[in-house]
Structure 1
C-alpha cells in the first residue's frame, strides 16, 4: 500500500487506491496563499493557543498549590499530570469519534467544554475536587490535538503542510506562554482563582473564533465504523517500526520538556533567587522563541527534509538542559530558551512526519503520536518530582538528559527505517 504522501500525489482524475480516503471525489486541497488556507491556519493557531493555555495555566501555580493545599511538589504536579494523562487516553477515543461526527464540531465542543472546566476550577474549594475537574478537562481537550493533525493532513496541500503544521504548533507555544504568563501575573496581584477564571474566559473567545474561521472539511466525510476498524487501524500504524519510533519520540520530547518547566519554578522561587509569581511567569515569555522555532522548523522541514531538522531540535534542547545546571539566573534562562526552541522544532517536524508517513487513517496515526506525547507529559512530569525531591536540580537534569539522548538515537534510526520503507 502506498504512503499517505504518495496517495496524495496521484492526479485528481485517478481515484485514490486507499480505502479510507473517499475516492469518489477529486481532492480539493487548501493551497498556500488562498483565503481559505489563511483562515484555516489562523483557526488552528487559535485552537493550539487555547488548548495549551487551558492545559498549562496551572504550571506556574504549582508552588502556590503546594503551600495553599499542603501537598508535596510531586502531588502539586498532579494538577497538570492528571489533565495530560486523561487527555492522552481521550485522544485515542477522539480519533474514532471524529470518524463518525466530523472534525470541526468535535474540536469546537472540546475547546468550549475545557474552557468551562477551567472556570469551574476557579471556584472549587478543595484539592480533590480541583484534581477531578482537571482530569475531566483533560478528557474534553482530547478532542482537539489528534483531530487537528488529521484535518491538516487531509485538507492542506502537501507542499504547504509543514508550514501550516508549524503555525499550529506555534499556536501551541503562544498559548502555553500566554497561559503561564497571564496566570502568574494575575495570581501575583489578585489570586490564583481569578487567574484561572481569566484563562477560561479567554478559551471561550478562542473557541468561538475557531468555529467561525475554520472551513468545513472537503476531503473527509463522517462514516459509521465498527470498533474492529479502529483497532486494526491503530495496530497497523503501531506495527510499523518507523511510526513506533516517532510515537516514542513524542513521549520523550514532551516528557523532558514538561519536567524542566514543572520543577524550574520550585528552583527559582527558592534560595538564592526568590522570584515572585510575576517574575516567574515572565520567564515563560521564552515561549516566543518556541513560536519562531516551530514556524521556522516547518519551513526548513519542507525544504531540507524533516528527518534532517528533527535531530537538530533535539540537540538544541539537550544543550539547553545542560546549561540550566549553571547558577547565574541569565544562564538558566538561556538554557530554558534553548530547551523551548529545540523542543518545538523537533515536535513540529515530528508532527508533520506523522501526517506524511501514515498509511490510511491519519486521525488514528495522529492519535497514537499524541497518546505518547501526552503520556510523556503525565508520566515523566510527575516522576520528575521524585528526582527533584531526591537530589535537586542535578537529578532533574540527569533524568531529562537521558530522555533526550534516547530521542536523538530514535530520530537517527527512524530516518533509516523511513528510507527503507519500514
Structure 2
C-alpha cells in the first residue's frame, strides 16, 4: 500500500507529472479501502475466505510485477487501481481468519494492528533504500517475491469459513448516525487521518524542497517514526489506565498531534525526522482509542459500525492524499501546515463541546 509514498518525487520526475498526480498512487488505494465495505458486502456476500485470499494474492503478485514494467503515468495508475480493488479483500479475509479464534480475538487483533503498522513502516523505509540502490522498478519486483511467500503461507492455513461480510442497508446507516456519538467519532477520524495521510504524503516533496540532493533512502527513513504505532497499539490499555478514561486519552493524543503538526513548520531536516515520531504517537493514540469506542458504544451492529468507521477513516486518507498536495503546490508549505492545524483545533473544540455525550468514557 505505502511503498510508493517515499518514491513519489522520483515517480513524479520519472513520469513527468505534478506532485498532485503522483500523490494519486497512494490516494487510489485509500479510496477503495473506504468504499470496500459496500462493494464487498454486496458482491462477495458469502465466499470462502481462503479462496478470496489466494485469488487476491495472485492478482496482487501479477500487478506488482507489472508495476515494475510500467512506462507511463496512466499505466502505473491503472495497475495501482487494480491493486486498490483487491487489497481490501485481503485485509477482510485476514481479519476473518483471526476473528474466528474466539478465545484470542482481542490479542489477535492487537497483533494484527501492530503487524499492519509494521508493514506500513517497512514498506516505506525499504522502498526508499531499494529504489536508491537498485532502481524503483526493483521495489515492485521484490514485493512480488514477498507476495509469493505470502501465497505459500496461505496454503498452509486450514480454514474453511466464509468471509462473513456485512451488507450495509441505508436504514441501518441512518439509524447509527442518529446516535450523535458516532458523528463525533467518525468526524474525528476523518480529520485525523486527513491530516496524517496528507502531511506524510507531501513530506517527501518538502524534504526535496529543503534538501534537493536528499536520497530515496533518507526519505524512506523519515517514516521510521511510523513504528510508534506498534508501541501504542500494544500498550494502549496501560495508557487508558493512566488517564482513567478513554476521552481523556483522545484529548491528550489530539494535543500531541496538534503540537507535532505545528513543529513541521521548522525547516531543519533533523527536527522534521524526530517530529514524525511525535506525530505518529499522537495519531495512533487517537486512532486506537477511537477504534475501541466505535466497537463498544453499541451492543449490536458492531460489524456495520466498524465498517463505517473504516470508511470515514479512509475517505479522510484519500482526500488527504490529494487536496493538501494542491494547497502545497499553490500556497506553499507553511499555509498547508496551518490548514492542518486549523482542522485539528476545530475537531478538538468539537469534542470538547460534545463531552456530555460520552459521560461513560470521560
Q: TM-score, normalised by structure 1?
A: 0.75
What SS does the corresponding residue of 2:214 show, helix, strand or coil?
Answer: coil
2:176 aligned residue: 237
1:11 aligned residue: none
What SS does the corresponding residue of 1:56 show, helix, strand or coil?
Answer: coil
Query: 2 CA distance for matches of 1:352 and 1:151?
Result: 20
Q: CA deviation at 1:290?
A: 2.2
Gaps of 5+ in 1: 1-54
Matching of residues 160-199 of structure 1 within 5 Å: 161=106, 164-199=108-143
2:77 aligned residue: 131
Counterparts in 2 of 1:68 and 1:333: CA distance versus 1, 3 Å = same
Counterparts in 2 of 1:236 and 1:155: CA distance versus 1, 3 Å = farther
Q: CA deviation at 1:365?
A: 1.8
Counterparts in 2 of 1:278 and 1:420: CA distance versus 1, 3 Å = closer
Q: CA deviation at 1:326?
A: 1.4
Query: Is the contact between residue 166 and residue 348 of structure 1 (CA under 8 Å) also seen in structure 2?
Result: no
Query: 2 CA distance for matches of 1:214 and 1:402?
Result: 50
Q: CA deviation at 1:354?
A: 2.0
1:94 aligned residue: 40
1:336 aligned residue: 276
Query: 2 CA distance for matches of 1:214 and 1:284?
Result: 35
Deviates more, 1:139-148 or 1:184-193: 139-148
1:142 aligned residue: 88
What SS does the corresponding residue of 1:77 show, helix, strand or coil?
Answer: helix
Query: 2 CA distance for matches of 1:329 and 1:214?
Result: 48
Gaps of 5+ in 2: none
Query: Is the contact between residue 57 and residue 151 of structure 2 (CA under 8 Å) also seen in structure 1?
Result: yes
Q: CA deviation at 1:168?
A: 2.5
1:402 aligned residue: 342
Query: 1 CA distance for matches of 2:186 and 2:94?
Result: 17
Aligned residues between the structures = 360
Counterparts in 2 of 1:306 and 1:164: CA distance versus 1, 3 Å = farther
Q: CA deviation at 1:93?
A: 2.2
Query: 2 CA distance for matches of 1:166 and 1:412?
Result: 28
Counterparts in 2 of 1:213 and 1:264: CA distance versus 1, 3 Å = same
Query: 2 CA distance for matches of 1:244 and 1:114?
Result: 35
Q: TM-score, normalised by structure 2?
A: 0.86
Counterparts in 2 of 1:222 and 1:80: CA distance versus 1, 3 Å = closer
Q: CA deviation at 1:65?
A: 1.3
Give the helix-richer structure, 1 or 2. Answer: 2
